[in-house]
Structure 1
Amino acid sequence: MNIVYVITGLSLGGAETITVCLANEMRRRGHHVAILYLTGENWFKDRIDRDIIVQSLGLSKNPFSLLKAQLKAKQFLKVFSPQVVHGNMVHANIFVRLLRLHCHIPLLISTEHNKNIEGRLRMKIYQYTDFLSDINTNVSREATTYFIQEKAFGRNKSRTVYNGIDLVRFGRNEDKRLKIRIQYSVSNNEFLFLNVARLTPAKDHVNLLLAFKETCSICPDIKLLIVGDGELKKELEEKVKELKLINNVIFAGAHIHIEDYYSAADCFVLSSAWEGFGLVLAEAMAANLPVLTTDAGGCAEVVDDYEYVVPTHDPFLLADKMKKIVIMSPEEREQLGNTNKDKAKRFDINSIVKEWEDLYLGYLQ
């Protein structure tokens, strides 16, 4: 098959990571693959298979930019002649639906990666352009059900397909653990919480910092490593100063080789206000880590244990769970991590890619 993945951008994030991973795996299975991205920089240059065509459409806020990007994409599709065009994220999904008005596309799939897409207008646009899509998917059952209930997705052509991860890549590695801890001056006997997320309102890092502050009351020497970058960085750094956590909280910035950081941690914690799937939870589970999360989007589906899921916007309940993990014996944490590793097998990229491949072929046949 000739497959084109279209995505809003290729910055560091869950939707971008899974799209690149899916493209790579499809190429390894012998398909001809291309990735078109609407805007921004490509952070995945070293991660994308060299046989995959990658092209920026150069979309900007200029009103003529959309027309130019549409014509550029149309010309590309004319030459590449795909059987499948698979959109990812709201802007790219609307873009490829509009593209279908003047391009031949045998199979058009729209994949949303979140329940909250920040605005009723976007849901309405999904609804009014739904007739242009053959198959709609979201990354959790809760999100798919919500989109159907809101009439953003047509019921009869919508389904849930979970995100997938490379279980081998995210396996625990003691050498990487030591390397990262040395890099950030964290001793091997210091308890390290890890959070991997963009510094945006959706991830609610203030909730995490308040919970961490409370957790420090029983163990003042614990550390929190936050991996990610975003618009709220300065605000969050000020919050750390306000909470007197400068010696406990480390902002590491964004990193492409995120697997190293999971190996360094003792527990992963996600404090999001809203999520789609919570890919980082599956990655942390594959790394044998205990995980804590808020009940945002599909996070509870990933963790599959409500003992370690708390309501959103409740730092005190989150702190209670964080304290529980800290005071556990190493043996208890290891057992919990091993259980999570087994659960992570549900998201093995090989199984997820097979599901997508069957979906493509099943429709085209």
Structure 2
Amino acid sequence: VTGTPSPHEGDMRYLFEDCSSRIFVLPTLHREIDLITDFRTVISLYRLMRRIRPHIVDSHTAKAGFATRIAAFFLRIFSRNGPLTVHTFHGNVFKGYFKPSKTLAYIWIERALARITDIVIAISPAQKKELVHTYKIASDEKVKVVPLGLELDRFLTCGKLNGKFRHRFSIDKDCFLIGIVGRLVPIKNHVMFLKAAKIFVSEHPDINVRFAVVGDGELRDELESLTRKMGLREKVTFCGWIKGIQAVYSELDALVLTSINEGTPVSIIEAMASCVPIISTCVGGVRDLIGSPKGSIESGDFAVCSRGILCNSGDFLGLARALEYLLNEDEEQKEKRLVAALEFVRQRYSKTRLLSDMESLYTDLLKKNHY
């Protein structure tokens, strides 16, 4: 069951073309808050659940999680065999999205929803810590950690695609190419990426470097305007959404993530599987992927970890310094870190492991509730 993407959002329903007959699209389910359409979504989900009688419903994202769990709750009230509920937090909206008063309201809503949820899934240990201890959304017993699992094979062999992405966007094959992949929205903080780019280009005018912004979103026009004002028009390329993202990773010399808040960033997992060096802000579940720094990171500085490089959120100077370090880093040391990152994602973030984990979780939940 899925909703409709907002303008500038990437639509990934093409991934389900082989099973399109089993996709239910709810036109009223979308990211924006609208009380009337949201109420209609709850009614539509209630009717759908009543018709197909699922044993378990598993929701993802805040809006879908709200509507799904409310519908399931009412079905439990009016039916003896209402579905068990599982909700997955891929991130949260408790930091960097709204004003404090609105954020607090969302926290209380999620706490209430957790009371009618059988299992809450966190996708990293750091995220579970936030949900249980920082925001007190649910108890330790109710929150289970199930890391993401991806089809990694296409990234492990993406070197075969080398040359296509740069050719498409007229990027010199010999330049140092730095990319960022994700929605162009405030929480991703692309302004930090552009400010770091400006510093790097100003301090290294003789280095052949390009910056690729892959993705789309509500801030695209604003970010393109800022790029022109900063004099980076010839250095920064806005690529939009790209199907076959492995072609992008096959060309990058570094992937950057500048988010203010994250769960477990898919782009980092994909880059690690593609053997691309990573520099990221030290937020959310990023440390579970890259490794933890030894002590705190000073302003304007960075930390080299076992599988990537970290800098502080919002610290564009630290990011610029990290890019400079990566450009001049000893190749043997860099290769050691890339190999460690590749083996890490192979072992922990495969699709096979995820399917096994979810099957065990669902089976245990059904047994516990005597299904």
TM-score (norm 1): 0.84
Shift of 1:49: 5.3
Shift of 1:337: 2.6
| Residue correspondence of structure 1 range 246-261 to structure 2 within 5 A | 246-261=233-248
Shift of 1:76: 1.9
Shift of 1:80: 2.2
Q: Which amino acid in structure 1 is aligned with residue 312 of structure 2?
A: P
Q: Which amino acid in structure 2 is aligned with residue 336 of structure 1?
A: R
Give the one of 3, 6, 11 matched to 1:43: 11
Instruction: Answer yes or no: is the 8 Å Cα contact 2:3–2:28 preserved in 1.
Output: no
Shift of 1:95: 0.9
CA distance in structure 2 between the aligned counterparts of 1:163 and 1:11, rounded to whole angstroms: 24
Give the one of 337, 361, 364 matched to 1:362: 364
Give the one of 222, 226, 233 matched to 1:239: 226
Shift of 1:44: 2.2
C-alpha spacing 1:66/1:270, structure 2 compared with 1 (3 Å) = closer
Map of 1:201 onto structure 2: 186
Map of 1:212 onto structure 2: 197
SS of aligned partner of 1:129: helix
1:116 aligns with 2:93: yes
Q: Which amino acid in structure 1 is aligned with residue 359 of structure 2?
A: E
1:72 aligns with 2:57: no
Instruction: Answer yes or no: is the 8 Å Cα contact 1:285–1:340 preserved in 2.
Output: yes
Map of 2:83 onto structure 1: 106
Q: Which amino acid in structure 2 is aligned with residue 74 of structure 1?
A: Y
CA distance in structure 2 between the aligned counterparts of 1:292 and 1:359, rounded to whole angstroms: 33
Map of 2:23 onto structure 1: 54
SS of aligned partner of 1:288: coil
Shift of 1:101: 2.6
Length, aligned pairs only: 333
CA distance in structure 2 between the aligned counterparts of 1:93 and 1:45, rounded to whole angstroms: 19
Give the one of 166, 175, 190 matched to 1:181: 166
C-alpha spacing 1:250/1:84, structure 2 compared with 1 (3 Å) = same
CA distance in structure 2 between the aligned counterparts of 1:82 and 1:56, rounded to whole angstroms: 17
Question: Deviations 1:195-231 (Å, cap 9, x if unpaired)?
Answer: 1011111111111111122222225420111101111
CA distance in structure 1 between the aligned counterparts of 2:111 and 2:334, rounded to whole angstroms: 45
SS of aligned partner of 2:14: coil
Shift of 1:162: 1.4
Map of 2:255 onto structure 1: 268
What CA RMSD, in Å, does the superposition of the two structures yield over aligned residues?
2.3
C-alpha spacing 1:11/1:180, structure 2 compared with 1 (3 Å) = farther
Q: Which amino acid in structure 1 is aligned with residue 154 of structure 2?
A: R
Q: What residue ranges of structure 2 are gaps of 5+ in the alignment?
A: 77-81, 98-102, 294-303
Map of 2:117 onto structure 1: 133
Instruction: Answer yes or no: is the 8 Å Cα contact 2:9–2:217 preserved in 1.
Output: no
TM-score (norm 2): 0.83
Shift of 1:79: 2.9
